[in-house]
């Protein structure tokens, strides 16, 4: 096992923490959109960041995709970048539900708003369980309609050593909507995360 890999106990512990954090985000999304949200158990996988563009291509193919990125910084050395990936096929329905006008600028604003709700709620829930706290950078948005999408996504991925990929599916009861969330974490922060998990495990 390399220093950046998790033991089975650490992975199970992290899975439970993420389940709780994503449950909070799911509840917040349900209240935000005033509808029921079904959340599948998030799948966690450690991958090389070079696989990130391939993951996006496999997941969405030729469909229009938007990526919203939000950097986070912990007070105990845990930091990284949360990325939300959206399929834009049914975005107009959600925009109408929230009262946004049907244009590109409103679409970007809506996805940024939803991303902020989901990422900060889930990350704050995770941080609290780790006895940590996060501050956040301003979100940035990148659309596959941009001809340089793949290159920019590769550049984003290359800034990190490891992708902690949390695969989430939010399914709204009354509307078609889903997204993926990934957390990109540099190597030293992965080591710090392992120490935090060990501390939690030692308390059992």
In a domain, 121, yes or no: yes
Return the CATH number at 63. 3.40.1550.10
pTM score of the predicted model: 0.82
Domain for residue 31, yes or no?
no
Does position 173 have pLDDT exceeding 90, yes or no? no
Residue 12 lies in a domain: no
* pLDDT, the chain, mean: 80
Q: pLDDT over 90 for what percent of the chain?
A: 17
162 assigned to some structural domain: yes
Work out how many domains the chain is built from and give that number. 1
* DSSP string across the chain: --TTSPPHHHHHHHHHHHHHHHHHHHHHHHHHHTS-EEEPPPEEEEE-GGGHHHHHHHHHTTS-EEEEEEEEEETTS-EEEEEEEEEGGGHHHHHHHTT--SSHHHHHHHHHHHHHHHHHHHHHHHHHHTT--EEEPPPEEEETTSTTHHHHHHHHHHT-SEEEEEE--EEESSS---EEEEEEE-HHHHHHHHHHHHHHHHT-
Q: Is residue 160 part of a domain?
A: yes
Q: pLDDT class for 125, splitting at 50, 70, 90?
A: very high
* 146 inside domain: yes
Q: What is the pLDDT of residues 37-87, one digit of tens each?
A: 877 788 888 777 777 777 777 776 666 778 888 999 988 888 888 888 877
The answer to whether position 191 is within a domain reads yes
Domain of residue 114 covers 39-199
pLDDT reported for residue 198: 94
């Amino acid at each position: 096992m390399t220093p950046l890999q998790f033991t089975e106990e650490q992975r199970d512990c992290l899975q439970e923490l993420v389940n709780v954090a994503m449950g909070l985000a799911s509840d917040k999304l349900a209240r935000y959109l005033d509808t029921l949200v079904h959340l599948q158990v998030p799948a966690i996988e450690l991958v090389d960041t070079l696989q990130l563009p391939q993951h996006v291509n496999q997941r969405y193919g030729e469909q229009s995709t938007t990526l919203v990125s939000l950097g986070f910084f912990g007070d105990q050395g845990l930091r990284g970048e949360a990325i939300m990936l959206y399929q834009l096929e049914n975005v107009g329905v959600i925009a109408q539900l929230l009262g946004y006008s049907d244009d590109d600028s409103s679409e970007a604003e809506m996805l940024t708003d939803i991303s902020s709700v989901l990422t900060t709620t889930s990350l704050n829930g995770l941080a609290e369980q780790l006895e940590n706290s996060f501050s956040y950078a301003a979100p940035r948005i990148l659309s596959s309609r941009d001809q340089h999408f793949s290159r920019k996504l590769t550049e984003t991925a290359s800034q990190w050593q490891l992708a902690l990929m949390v695969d989430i599916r939010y399914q709204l009861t009354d509307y078609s909507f889903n997204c993926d969330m990934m957390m990109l974490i540099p190597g030293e922060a992965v080591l710090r995360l392992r120490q935090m998990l060990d501390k939690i495990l030692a308390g059992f």
